[in-house]
Chains A and B, each alone.
Chain A
């Protein structure tokens, strides 16, 4: 292969990568439902994880592609079959065993502790706010059990206090997901799953059903408002008076 053709190939194959970068740096990550625009500790941990993984993977991708192209292009010195065998073994052990094992160990040593911290573990100093969410075709029923409040498609939260969302369903499987706060959990008939979330900025976010649930799946949207603790109390009081 000609060197010129190689360069062309390299540039062409990397062009799309450039494209995605431009998006990122134009601030394309913001949005009311963006996992890359976190408003809570869980979402933030995951977003950071993503950026690290993205950088690392992009580097690996580039290195291996370059290596392949170089291997195609270079004119190898003449070698015996034993030499070739040794070189081959070195590549396979270095690239096929050591590289993935090291990378995966690294990844897991970050990933598993992060996963652990997302669990609804017992808290020491406070009780999480208990909210029940019941998915149904095609809306969300939100119950504040202690306060006796029930809303439809409206989730109000206080900032700075962990919330345990108890998710279930009365018909098919749905999935509760507010990307700016954290990951999703499925709403499954006959089961109750608990998701620990916390908001750390005041504002309006958007959530959406993430498990296909039939005709109205695209319209099963949830509106979230994160209040300061005072205005959250005020909202509750106001709601009860209605």
Chain B
């Protein structure tokens, strides 16, 4: 994976979030166009389950990245140039924001039926 000191860390977590979000929205629309579950099935449909799993995986990934950045920032305190420490710390929080955003959006699939 990308080095925790790479400047792209300032965007990566949220790029992943956005991509995930766009795909999730697209997948939902496609699923509802192709195989809509019946209305009285409520929120327990294959679509909701698939989206939920997807959410959990991506949230986990982003949290993992956040922890890598964070630990690198901690460990690098002495060795690294402050510019790169700054990036690792900021990168950790960007990845964390991505994880929070992913989880809070994806959590909604627990509450609503998919295609109504």
Contact = CB atoms under 8 A, between A and B. Distances in A.
Nearest to B108: A112
B39 A112 contact: no
A116 B112 contact: yes
Contacts of A119: 116
Given A121-B39, A122-B39, A122-B40, A112 B112 contact: yes
Interface residues of A, number: 6
Interface string A52-78: 000000000000000000000000000
A112 B108 CA distance: 9
Contacts, number: 11
B34 interface: no
Interface string B37-60: 001100000000000000000000
A120 B108 CA distance: 19
Nearest to A109: B111
Interface residues of B, number: 6
Contacts of A120: 116
Nearest to A116: B112
B39 A116 contact: no
Contacts of A122: 39-40
B105 to A, nearest CB: 11
Interface of A: 112, 116, 119-122
11 contacts: A112-B108, A112-B111, A112-B112, A116-B111, A116-B112, A119-B116, A120-B116, A121-B39, A121-B116, A122-B39, A122-B40
